Structure formats: C-alpha cells, structure tokens
Amino acid sequence: MKRIPMLINGEWVGNDSNEWLPVFNPSNGELIAEIVKGQKEHVDEAVHAAQVAFESDEWKKVKPYERGQLLVRLAAHIRNNAEQWSKWECEDVGKPISQAKADVEAAARYFEFYGGAADKVMGDTIPIEEGILNATVLEPVGVTAHIVPWNYPLQITARSVAAAIATGNAVIVKSAEDTPLTTHAIAEWFAVSELPKGIFQHVTGLGADVGGPLAGHPGIHHITFTGSVNTGISVMKAAADNVVPVTLELGGKSPNIVFSDANEELALEGVVRAIIQNAGQTCSAGSRLLIEEKYKERFLHELTAKFNELTIGPGVDDKEIGPILNKKQFDQIINKIQDAKSAGKIIVGGETVTISGSEGGYYIQPTIIDGLDNTHALAKEEIFGPVLTVFTFETIEEAIELANSTDYGLVAGIWTRNIDVAHFVASKVKSGQVFINNYGAAGGVQMPFGGYKKSGIGREKGFIALRNYTQVKNIAVKFSI
C-alpha cells in the first residue's frame, strides 16, 4: 500500500498527518493507497506558494519555448514509463488495461501538443488610425485551480494542466479522492523539475474540505472543473463571489442517431463502444440510441447479440467492461435499472455480476432499456453506467427533437450514408461535438470539447483551450515625428 502526500511549494506535505483517506482498487476492493485528508489550511498554503511562484523573477525569465520544451519532456517521461502508468490508472479507476494505456498515450499527447503551442500564443495588431499602433497581448491569468474527476484522472489532469503551464500560469490540482495515483505521478515529475517551487502543486482530500475552499479562494484566478452538474453549480457560485472565470465540463445524455441507411457494421460498433467505455462511466458516453422506427427491430436484434458477447472482469484482465468505481455509484445505477423495469423493458442485461476472485468489485451487465417514455427521468438523466436507453423516430425532425430533448448537449453521433441528412441534423443538434459515422474520433486532443446547456461552460482541448488561461491586454501607442 502506498501513502500519497501532497506537493505544496515544492515539498511533500502530510506525511506526519493523522488523517488519511483510503483508496481502493474498484476491480476487487483491495486497499491500494492512502491520501492525506487535506484541509483548508493546506489550500491556503498552496495558493500563497502559487502566487509567490507566479510573480517570481525566476518564473518570468522562463521563456515560452522553454515552458514548451519542459512539457514535451514530460510527455516523453510518460511514454517511457507507459506500462507502469497504465497499471496505476487501471488499478485506480478499474478500467480495462487497454483503455488505461490509451489514456496514458492521450496524456502524453496533451503535454506534447500544448508544449508545441507554448510559444505560439499570439495577439493581434488592430488598425485604428494614422499614428497609433494598437496591439493585443495575451497574458497568463495567474493562479489556476484544476478540480479533477475520478473517471479519467490522468487525461483530465493533463489536458488542463498542460494548457495552463504552456501559457505561463501557476497550477494547483485537486485530484479525486478515489483516484489520485497518476496525478501524484505527475506531481513526482514536477517536484524534481527545474520549475520554480509552487508552479505545480497537488492537494488531496474531500471535496468539502479541499475542493470547496479551493474554488472559493480569493487568490485563484481561474477554475477548471469536471464533474456533476450540481457540484459544477456550487463551483460556479463560489467563483462568482470572487468574479473568477470558470471552465465547466459537466454531465451528458448523448444520443447516437441511427438512420435506416446507416452502415450497419460501423453503427453497431460505434453504438456499443460509445456506451461501454470505462463501463459507461463517461460524461460523453453515447447513452441514448435514437433509431429510425422501420430499422429498429433489425438493429436492436444485432445490437442485443453484440451486448451478449461482451466480456466483463477486472481491469487487469482487459475484458471489455470493467467494474463500477464504488458501492455508491453501483447502488445508484442498480436503483435506476430497477426503476426502468417498471417503466420500460429490459432488452438485455440489467443484472449484477460476481467475478470469481474479484468478489470485492462491483460489476453490472451491459444493459439496453426500451419502452421508456421520452419524459421519464431515465430518458433525461445521466445514469453513468453501461446502460443504453432506446427511442425511435420516423422523420428527421423527430430525430432532432429527440436529440435536443434533454438538459444536456455534450456529444452526438449521427449514422447515415446521406450526406445532406448528416449535415442538416448536425446543424440542428445542440451539442458541443457532433460525430458523423463515428463517435469520439480517438479522443481528438486537437478538437474543442465542451457542451451546450447544462453540459458546461467553455471548451477544453485544442488551441481554443489556451484562451481559458490567458487574459487580453490592449496596448495603444501614439507616435509622431
């Protein structure tokens, strides 16, 4: 078992603490680590250290391309240790090892991508009138807070931290109490890097003890949060008290819209993978199937067969579906499935699974639910498990109406050979990302990611995310002879 201290001002903090929180392997319930149960005073220390580091001459002298080179070196370090980092992510989250390996490569790509962008964050010159040179300069916002969820801890830490450091900010990460291992591994690398102390810090603990004080701290200048809608609202309210901007990536109830002329093999594979990745514990999971009425019987028959073939087991065994994170999440999913049994029809799955040798893990059969009314809670609320709900449409207009019928708008998939239909539906769906005849595009480090409506505010990934961590200064110079 590993004890994980916090990294504050370049020092490992908390080894003398009497309060530790357990970290379990979701695959079997084994205790694998303990983290420091951080408190508000740790947040205060971290923010103060970040402020000092950000304002230091040492940090100001680090050139943008040098920040970029440092991030590229971190990417190489992650790749060089990919096997170990994948093992940590697999143990921490419970996801299949192949998915953990994909997360490790994605994290490396984030540091590489934003490392390459560090010296390319440029302003503009704006024509005003003769004798005035007007220019905009993009400056770092200052101290940025990054509150990371438990489902993709390595990827989500990397994507925002890389952009923030590339643009010259000081960073404080609060990892999820359930999944701290790979964020700690990033902290270990930064602890021995040539960066000034306080530029990267990692605090641990419960949301109420650490996350809340971090979100509401007057010394924070931007907050990036990924998680539930309710917690995101609380983060936004705390930030509002200090007039601090936020980037929120929240829930989803994303549709896969399948027309009768779709490439069946591609559509089936896309629909399955969109709901089973990380056992459905993904904000962008394709958790709704909207199927053209005349195609429903055939498509559902083939889809059910594929669901019945899916394998379930511990992450290390690399089955197609791993465990649910913990008992709390597990119970919530099971309760929602039980509700569906009275309001709709379970086509396949819907039962718990016991894995020999991993009885301490929480496993659920991949589930398809049909027959729900579109106004039912399960048609609109995020289940966050391997559960797919099915609805039908007869016209393009009905498909669009169904797609837009929830409070979310994170991702949508459209499956059709008709390019006119595909583009028309894409133009009408209220969603931050729309995929045509694919779903997810291999993660797409370069593609802006974020949602409409209650799926969030702002965008992460891609060049546009760099703007989260910069502020615009306009400089007008009058000259004459």
3-class SS string, 380-419: HCCCCCCEEEEEEECCHHHHHHHHCCCCEECEEEEECCCH
Q: Which one, of 438, 447, 453, lies nearest residue 159 by Cα?
A: 447
- For residue 195, CA distances in Å to 102, 199, 279 come to 28, 7, 38
Is residue 203 within a helix (H) or strand (E), and if so which, with residue range?
strand 200-203
Exposed (0-12), middle (13-18) or buried (19+): which is 187, by Cβ within 10 Å?
A: buried
Tokens at 445, concatenated: 């480090």
Spell out a b/e string for 219-237, using b for 16 or more CB atoms within 10 Å of the CB, else e: bbbbbbbbbebebbebbbe
Within 8 A by CB and 6+ apart from 244, the residues are 220, 221, 222, 223
Catalytic option among 91, 105, 177, 249: 249
For residues 464, 85, 362 and 335, what is the CA-based torsion angle, rounded to 10 degrees?
-10
Angle between helices 97-117 and 64-80 (to 10 degrees): 160
Tokens at 135, concatenated: 């220019």
249 assigned to active site: yes
Positions marked catalytic: 249
